[in-house]
Amino acid sequence: MHTTKSQFFFIKHVIVLSITLFSAAVQGQTSVPFTLTNEGHILVTGTINGVTGKFIFDTGAGMTVISKQYADKINDLQKQDAGFTGLRETGEKLSVDLYKGKTLSLGSFTENNPIMGVLDVDLGPCDGLVSIKSFGNQPFTIDFQQQKITFETPKTIARIEKTGRIIPLQLEILRDKTVDIFAYFKVNNKLTLQFIIDSGAGKNVFLVDTKYINLLGIDTLNAKKRYKPSEFDPKTKVTIYMAPLQSIAFKSQPGINIQNVKAAFIPGLIYDGKVSLSWIGEKIAFDLKKQEMIVP
C-alpha cells in the first residue's frame, strides 16, 4: 500500500532517534550536491554498504532511517539485539529495530559502522533520512544557493567561525543514542523560547506549543483553526490554531530574524516549538563539536 506524503512525514517526525557513530573526517574541503525539492527538503545521493540511495538530509530526524525496500537491496546489514523507542513531536511513541552497516557515504565523507533504523513503509521518491548525528566530528556547510553540502576542514571552519555570526546550539542527547539541535529564540519580542531546528520540516515551517498562545497575544477567537484527530485518541479532535507571529529572532543574534510569519500552534509539543532551516541564511555552517551554528 502506498504511503501518502502526510503519512511519510508523520513517520519522519515520530523519529527523534540516533546512536553513537564513528565518522571518518574528510581530508580536504569537498562538497556533495543536493536537490532542493518543491517542499523545501534537502535531497542527497549517497550509499550504504556501496548501494546507492536518495536521502533527505535531516537536522531534525535524530537517527538515520531507511525503508525496508531499500534495506533489502543492501548486503551485510546486521540486525542488532536491542531496538530503540523514540517520541514524535507530540509525544507518541515509535519503536524501531536497529541495524548496523559497514559504511554510509555522502561524497567524500564516510561513516564507518553506521547504525540505522529500518521501517517497512513506502517512502516515495527517497530511500530514507540521513541524521546529523553522523557528523558530530565533521563540520559542514549547507549552501542553499549553490545547492551543495560542503565538508569543512579545520582551517576552513575556523575561517568561517572568525568572520561569521555564531549561534550557540543546545544538543539534546538521549542515552547517547539521539542528538537533536536547539537554539533560543525571541518570539514577538516577548518570550524567549527554545526551538528545535529541523531542515526536514521543509520550508517556512514554524510550530509553537499552544501553551504560549495567550502569552504571545494571539487572538484565538479570530485565528484560523484546523481540526485533526488526536494520535492518542482518534475520537478526540485536536484544535490547531493558525496565526501570524510578528517576529522570530535568534536570542544570540537578533539581526537574524524573520518577520510576519504564519505559525501553527500545536497542543502537546514535547518542546517549545520548531523552525525550519532555509530562512536563516543562504549558507549555514555547523560545528557540532563546538555546539555552534554559523551564518557567514
Q: Report CA 279 to chain centroid distance, whole Å.
A: 14
Side chain identity at residue 74, one-letter code: I
Does 253 map to a domain?
yes
153 and 82 housed in the same domain = yes
Residue 186 has a pLDDT of 98
CA angle 234, 122, 274 (to 5 degrees): 60
Domain co-membership, 80 together with 137: yes
Give the number of domains in the chain: 2
Based on the fold, state whether residues 155 and 241 are members of the same structural domain.
Answer: no
Question: Is residue 267 one of the residues assigned to a domain?
Answer: yes
pLDDT digits (tens, 9 = 90+) for 80-128: 999 998 888 888 888 889 999 999 999 999 999 999 999 888 888 899 9
In a domain, 75, yes or no: yes
Note whether 217 and 108 are same-domain residues.
no
Say if residue 19 is in the same domain as residue 151: yes
CATH number of the domain where residue 201 is located: 2.40.70.10
Q: How far apart are CA 151 and CA 149, in angstroms?
A: 7
Q: From 205, 192, 198, 182, select the one nearest 258 (Cα to Cα).
A: 205
Cα–Cα distance between 71 and 213 in angstroms, integer? 43
Cα distance between residue 187 and residue 107, in whole Å: 38
Using 70 as the pLDDT threshold, list the residues of the chain that sit under it. Answer: 1-27, 230-236
What pLDDT score was predicted for residue 122? 84
Question: Who's near 211: CB < 8 A, 6+ residues apart?
Answer: none
* 185 and 57 both lie in a single domain: no
- 141 and 197 in a single domain? The answer is no
Sign of the CA dihedral with 50 first, then 53, 54, and 58 last: negative
| Burial 81-117, CB ≥16 within 10 A → b, else e | eeebebbbbbebebebbbbebbebbbbebbbeebbbb
Give the Cα separation of 63 and 12 in Å (integer): 10
**DSSP for residue 290:** T
pLDDT for 195 equals: 98
pLDDT at 176: 74
Domain-embedded: residue 105: yes
Q: Is residue 106 part of a domain?
A: yes
Q: Are residues 261 and 124 part of one domain?
A: no
- Provide the sign of the torsion angle of the four alpha carbons 203, 276, 230, 228, taken in this order: negative
In terms of domains, do 107 and 197 share one? no
Q: Is 151 exposed, middle or buried (0-12, 13-18, 19+ CB in 10 A)?
A: buried
Indicate if 25 and 160 belong to the same structural domain. yes
What pLDDT does residue 287 have? 98
Q: Residue 174 domain-assigned?
A: no
**For strand 128-131 and strand 42-48, is the pairing parallel, antiparallel, or unpaired?**
unpaired
Q: Is residue 172 part of a domain?
A: no
Provide the domain limits for residue 192: 179-280
Give CA–CA dist 112/135, Å, rounded: 12
pLDDT at 233: 60
CA 219 to chain centre: 30
Q: Are residues 42 and 128 in the same domain?
A: yes
Of 47, 58, 51, 21, whose CA–CA distance to 105 is shortest?
47
- What pLDDT is recorded for position 27? 62
Would you say residue 41 lies in a domain? yes
Q: Same domain for 203 and 271?
A: yes
DSSP for 61-129, written as a single string: --S-EEEHHHHTT-TT-EEEEEEEEEE-TTS-EEEEEEEE-SEEEETTEEEES-EEEEE-S--TT-SEE
Give residue 172's pLDDT.
93
Q: Which residues pair with 237 in a beta bridge?
A: 229
18-45 pLDDT, tens digit per residue, is 333 334 445 678 999 999 999 999 999 9
